[in-house]
Amino acid sequence: MRDFYPPIEPINKGFLKVSDIHNLYWEECGNPQGQPVVFLHGGPGGGIGPDLRRFFDPKAYRIILFDQRGSGSSTPNAELKDNTTWDLIKDIETLREMFKIDTWVVFGGSWGSTLALAYAITHPDRVKGLILRGIFLCRPSEIKWFYQEGASQIFPDVWDEYLKPIPPNERHDMVTAYYKRLTDPSAEVRLTAAKAWSKWEAATSRLFVSPEAIDEFDDPEFALSFARIECHYFTNNAFFKTDNWLLENVDKIRHIPGVIVQGRYDVVCPARSAWDLHKAWPEAKFTFIADAGHAAAEPGTKSALIEATDAFRNL
């Protein structure tokens, strides 16, 4: 089993203005002459953290991480205006050009896998490899599973907490009901909804529930950006033209070396999506982790991801 590389600090960091209102926080870590890789975090709205640098050999990789619009240290926090999948893809290209990188490895998990696939489909000539985890294709069936009915069968106790901010007569469409509250004029209403939404995901993300993860998702600033931006994207079908846009366009990336890592007991992004991607893209290496849920830091998933980054060091 592989474990994280030792902790590292950025060799460079700063902010990049990408629109009239949005400024992205970014970090550059590792070897400035190494294999370029961009890390795409989950959510959307999740943000980056120090451990995410540690999936990569710092002697071999030039590691670029950033907080997507409205997330983490990017400003303004939790902002929904000018915040779409296509804006984020444009931001990735702006960062690539700023760092004078021709092609790079793209690493993404959960929503990060969605964005990585969308970016690669849009700019296949800029992607030399894809490492994906906890596959999320942002199809209506996936949203319905996690936010409306399916996952409640496995986590009924936590589901009841998720239901609390929504009156019974609105529970037939939880995403719409939450969006109404997450965009309410009242800061108290927004925060109550944001904490309940965020804690639902935190409590269901691992095979063994992590109290520390739940506490992290309970932080007001994190919860607001995470819940508001997620619900904004899900309400808008991730701004894709069709419900199955990623799989419909996967032929554009089948020539790119790829690795897909999926926890067998992932409740947040169930294995069906990863399997559908595997069938559409059989050239990519596919690995089920038998004793893992959704989180990247679970031992089997973490090990498989580090094996993948090691394998891609010299692409």
Catalytic residue among 41, 266, 273, 278: 266
Provide the CB-side half-sphere exposure for 156 (13 A, CA): 1
Using omega within 30 degrees of 0 as the cis cutoff, is the peptide bond preceding 282 cis?
no
First to last CA, the chain: 23
Select from 81, 76, 18, 70 the least CA-distant residue to 45.
Answer: 70
Backbone angles phi, psi at 64, to 5 degrees: -110, 120
Give phi and psi for 132, each to the nearest 5. Answer: -125, 145
> Is 110 one of the catalytic residues?
yes
Beta strands 258-263 and 285-289 are parallel
Q: Is 294 a known active-site residue?
A: yes
Annotated catalytic residue, options 22, 41, 67, 110: 110
Residue 75 has what DSSP assignment? Answer: B
What CA–CA distance (Å, rounded) separates 76 from 311? 37
Burial class (CB in 10 A: 0-12, 13-18, 19+), 227: buried
What size, in residues, is the chain? 315
List, by residue number, the catalytic residues: 110, 266, 294
